[in-house]
Structure 1
Amino acid sequence: MFVQQLAPLAGSLGLSALVAALPLATVLVLLGVVRMKAHLAALLGLAVALVVAIAVYAMPLPQALSSAVQGAAFGLFPIMWIVVNALWIYRITVRTGHFDVLRRSFGRVSDDPRIQALIIAFCFGALMEALAGFGAPVAISAVMLVALGFAPVRAAMVALVANTAPVAFGAMGTPVVTLAQVTGLPLDTVSSIVGRQTPLLALFVPLLLVIIVDGKRGLRETWLPALVCGVAFGVFQFLASNYVSAQLADIGAALAGAAALVLLPAARKPAREEVRRKVLTGVRTEVLDEPDRRAEVVRAYVPYALIIAIFSIGQLPPVKKLLDAATWKFDWPVLDVANANGKPVAGNLFSIPFLSTGGTLVLLAGVLTALALRVAARDTLREWLATVRELRFAILTVTGVLALAYVLNLSGQTTTIGYLIAGAGAGLAFLSPVLGWFGVAVSGSDTSANALFGALQVTAAGQTGLPADLLAAANSSGGVLGKMISPQNLTIACVAANLPGEEGRLLRKVLPWSIGLLLVMCLIVVGQSTAALSWMLP
């Protein structure tokens, strides 16, 4: 048995923490300063983590390698299993032309560019975040807005800022699932608390979007639709994450926000020509005068209806019990780790939920989508393989980051850093969202930030007396606000909006919004850690 050490270097917690931070520092410097490709930075960070684990923490080589393999395995299944199948469905809709039908249907809801920004970037972007994540919502929303005539810079800004509130439950709940896995906290608990933090962001983000699109006039004239959209989104996200399923939180919230806009008379008022002249300075690439046949519009919505239906059925107690029965739990080979108190850690065990995982349910929805849209089996398989190829570097990045996270956690490096950070005392409640924000800003992924810092937050909470589940959730909720300033997302937005080399300009425009919303989240978490807002917690 390998027993973790808190301070392996001369009994000094500070010196040990400094060395334990080297793998994380390596990744952050390579990404943020050297600007190395994310998958290469993750692999080099993993190498440093292994060296520290073996040379400093005296973790046996076989166990260190085994912990890395376990992290990579979790990155492949269930995390990338979800992402691949979700993006596969999107590719099928593009192949059949139904994605274009869907885009046109959004453009006809309102001719007001401020409302279009809410429908496309906030609502549909949230739906794409729920299904795929990893930059897809920003790319797709920016392309659609430019196609409707938005100036490229404005389209990119709107797409980036909108991609905040849904991120914690994106890719079928992958970030919170990962957070629960690496912290050992129940998924229902983590999902519930995140679902009492990020919905508050949903109240602000639509209002910010109309300001970005049309300044003070946009807020003055469209505050009601923006607020109604945000409230509908936030309420459904709260209800789903707390009482239904983390996997369905964003899907339902996105549809609720869109439905609120469609049903609200104020959102359907024609925009004045002066507003359209100011906002739509780009070249419109598509004419929306000829309506699509109703049957084609209905078929364009079929994939998303299928996903909602399948996940809803999967949550019914008898069905859920049947799906859970196909989960394989076993002792991970060549791994026998105990914490500093001598108790075996949860990482010694591994489970593979073959049927109950979101990726398998999305795969079923994809098969039914292919049948509904009459896509040949050969073409369906070809699109799936093309999706894997498209995501090959994302797969390397996620598996590398999770392998790194597992080595840090199982060797005890995370615990050492957590004990040091615990010295912040009650101030840790304010710093928790900042840590998540920084992790996502550098890695571009709330999933990766949760894998890196989730266990650290729990360890630090245990030393300060703060609720562990609150700080773990704060890591994810604060992390979503770093998405808009991530170099990866900035590059994706620039490519989608045809702004080559403009990442720096875009960063300067969205950074104030990112920091402002982060401050709001920090205050929320501080309030929830005290009697002021503790009533909000489950």
Structure 2
Amino acid sequence: MIVETFVPSTTAIADSTAISALVGILPLLVFFVLLGVFKLATHWCAVGALVVAAISAVVGFGMPAGMVGLSALQGLAFGIAPILYIVIAAVWLYNLTVRSGRAEDVRAVFSAVGKGDQRVQALLVGYSFCALLEGLAGFGAPVAIVAAMLVTLGVKPLKAAAVTMVGNSINVGFGAMAIPVTTAGRIGGVPATEVAATASSITPWIATLLPFLLVIILDGTRGLRQLWHIALVQGLVMSAGHIIAANFISYELTAVFAALLSFAAVALLLNYSNPTTPEEYRSETSEKLPSGSRITLALMPYWLVVIIFAVAKLWRLGVDIPAALASTDITIEWPGLYGNLLTASGEVSESAIYNLQTLSSPGTMIVLTALIVAFVYGRNSSGGVFEFSFVRGVKVLGETIVSLRWSLLTIALVMSLAYVMNFSGQTMAIGAALAATGAAFAFLSPILGWIGTAVTGSATSANALFADLQATAAAGANLDSSVLLSANTIGGGIGKIVSPQNLAIAATAVGGKTSESEILKKVAPWSLGILLLLCVLVFLATQGILPLM
């Protein structure tokens, strides 16, 4: 039994924040060097980084070895549920479409909507549809589902992963019914509505740009020449959706509302515009569009998951379904950590409480969707074209888990790494070093959110880590707290592009046809470039140059 208490310190090493931060960032450097330079398998990179983090925690930050082990175990538990639960469920749902043979009908449908142009289809799915799933689910489900869908549509695996991860970034802050925004407001002492309104003044500058970046990823400058008008409409309408929902409807619905609005706008535009499509980007589908019933069944995994998530997250008429589902959650005060892990003020840290989601988990909602889809596919073969059975659908789940085994191990190890870094104070030291820059912190503020999500894979966790620090730094430097809290939230979404957890999910979703290191090399420049733009926008906002809502 652990009887020692531990208070994380940002000056644990040589009584210096800077030195502590340099040591604290070593595990991340080890991970990315092993991955990008030595090209080791990702699970070995995670093991190496975890070992370095554990040694740093004990030797450098003074955390008892037993508490380091318990921190890793709590991270492992969080990695299993909800993260691995969601990933397995999402990939299973996608695999049902493939194994049932209905993937060809999916390609035919999006080929028709996207005028037979894979690039347009990638914009619709990788930006608008991904935003819809992010707003409803979050927690890696959008990346897992959308990256797999893009491969189904014929997009090359590396491009499919890159488009999904970059396109998903701007809506992460409003993901899972805007939990990151709510967290930032609660911990930072600012109304969440104010954080959301401020964020919606900043996100449009990036949201308008992203479709152009996605086109470049897909087809370079030729794509820009041929699709600039579609990218412009999609970006502007997505931005308008952010502003309208965050300020005038409900900030929890920001990503959902903006996604539906932008999808509808592009679909409407395509009724009056036929893009010039290079031969290599024409959809690989038959010329004849399937029947209405086949289209409905082919798209069933996607429209049904949206309905189930919408009901589970939004239905409060008569019965408050979100509250009812949340009431089944199990709160566990992590043995040996809770009560012994303290905050800087000496209070018991709430971070050592593990919330086991059961019925309220996005994974459960996806599993329910998959079971219904497997049953319906087993009962309806569309005239004998698609022979399938419910038992076969359940077997696909087992096959999915086996095929994901190494990626699942990687994700679990990365979450253990995140918890060791967080609980020992390593992540806090990095944040404190940046905050010590004073007025210049306005420019550096988004980097905290970027680092926090790069480490944990969660913008909610990044806000839980740094929201209080952002608010404190804002007060000390006479800056607007809502701007810095928004910066942390949006920066977190951009940091998710390079999160090891996200890299593993994306690589798994595209069928293992490209490695995490290849994806990292592809997306890292985009993540850093967008982060730099955000830093400039936040600095201008704090100087009163960028207008805010």
Q: CA deviation at 1:421?
A: 2.0
Q: 1:396-449, CA deviations, whole angstroms, 9 ceiling, x for partnerless residues?
A: 222222212212222222222322222222333333445666788xx7x98268
Q: Structure 1 residues 175, 72: closer, same or farther in 2, change over 3 A?
A: farther
Q: Structure 1 residues 392, 462: closer, same or farther in 2, change over 3 A?
A: farther
- Out of 221, 230, 234, the residue aligned to residue 225 of structure 1 is 230
1:522 is the counterpart of 2:535: yes
Aligned residue in 1 for 2:490? 474
Q: Structure 1 residues 397, 269: closer, same or farther in 2, change over 3 A?
A: same
Q: 1:77-110, CA deviations, whole angstroms, 9 ceiling, x for partnerless residues?
A: 1122222212211111112222221111111235
Q: Please, what TM-score do these two structures have when normalized by structure 2?
A: 0.77
Aligned residue in 2 for 1:259? 264
Question: 5 Å matches for 1:406-425?
Answer: 406-425=419-438
Q: What CA distance in whole angstroms lies between the structure 2 residues aligned with 1:7 and 1:164?
A: 35
Q: CA deviation at 1:196?
A: 5.8
> Which amino acid in 1 is paired with 2:469?
T
Q: Please, what TM-score do these two structures have when normalized by structure 1?
A: 0.79
Q: What CA distance in whole angstroms lies between the structure 2 residues aligned with 1:64 and 1:483?
A: 22
Aligned residue in 2 for 1:294? 292
1:349 is the counterpart of 2:353: yes
Aligned residue in 2 for 1:459? 469
Larger displacement relative to structure 2 (334-343 or 16-25)? 16-25
Q: What CA distance in whole angstroms lies between the structure 1 residues aligned with 2:108 and 2:490?
A: 37
Q: Structure 1 residues 324, 116: closer, same or farther in 2, change over 3 A?
A: closer
Aligned residue in 1 for 2:321? 319
Question: 5 Å matches for 1:527-538?
Answer: 527-533=540-546, 535-536=548-549
Q: 1:273-313, CA deviations, whole angstroms, 9 ceiling, x for partnerless residues?
A: xx44xx2247x683421221111001122222222222222
Q: Structure 1 residues 251, 293: closer, same or farther in 2, change over 3 A?
A: farther
Q: What CA distance in whole angstroms lies between the structure 2 residues aligned with 1:3 and 1:212?
A: 45
1:29 is the counterpart of 2:27: no
Q: Which runs of 5+ in 2 are unaligned?
A: 379-387
Aligned residue in 2 for 1:75? 79
1:387 is the counterpart of 2:393: no
Q: CA deviation at 1:70?
A: 0.9
Query: For the aligned residues, what is the CA RMSD?
Result: 4.3
- Out of 22, 38, 43, the residue aligned to residue 39 of structure 1 is 43
> Which amino acid in 2 is paired with 1:312?
A
* Structure 1 counterpart SS, 2:457: helix
Q: CA deviation at 1:169?
A: 4.9
- Out of 303, 315, 322, the residue aligned to residue 301 of structure 2 is 303
Q: What CA distance in whole angstroms lies between the structure 1 residues aligned with 2:456 and 2:422?
A: 18
Q: What CA distance in whole angstroms lies between the structure 1 residues aligned with 2:184 and 2:416?
A: 11
Q: What CA distance in whole angstroms lies between the structure 1 residues aligned with 2:283 and 2:120?
A: 19
| Residue correspondences, number | 514
Q: Which runs of 5+ in 1 are unaligned?
A: 147-151
Q: What CA distance in whole angstroms lies between the structure 1 residues aligned with 2:360 and 2:403?
A: 26
Q: CA deviation at 1:75?
A: 1.4
Q: Structure 1 residues 139, 110: closer, same or farther in 2, change over 3 A?
A: closer
* Structure 2 counterpart SS, 1:367: helix
Aligned residue in 1 for 2:93? 89
Q: Structure 1 residues 34, 73: closer, same or farther in 2, change over 3 A?
A: same
Aligned residue in 1 for 2:364? 360
Q: CA deviation at 1:204?
A: 1.7
Q: 1:137-157, CA deviations, whole angstroms, 9 ceiling, x for partnerless residues?
A: 4464256345xxxxx6xx955
Q: Structure 1 residues 189, 419: closer, same or farther in 2, change over 3 A?
A: same
1:280 is the counterpart of 2:289: no
Q: Do 1:354 and 1:360's aligned partners in 2 also have CA atoms closer than 8 Å?
A: yes
Q: CA deviation at 1:350?
A: 2.1
* Structure 2 counterpart SS, 1:2: coil
> Which amino acid in 2 is paired with 1:319?
I
- Out of 201, 204, 212, the residue aligned to residue 206 of structure 2 is 201
Q: Do 1:54 and 1:61's aligned partners in 2 also have CA atoms closer than 8 Å?
A: yes
Q: What CA distance in whole angstroms lies between the structure 2 residues aligned with 1:35 and 1:230?
A: 36
Q: What CA distance in whole angstroms lies between the structure 2 residues aligned with 1:196 and 1:91?
A: 39
Aligned residue in 1 for 2:24? 20
Q: Do 1:432 and 1:471's aligned partners in 2 also have CA atoms closer than 8 Å?
A: yes
Q: What CA distance in whole angstroms lies between the structure 2 residues aligned with 1:171 and 1:427?
A: 24
Q: Do 1:494 and 1:500's aligned partners in 2 also have CA atoms closer than 8 Å?
A: no
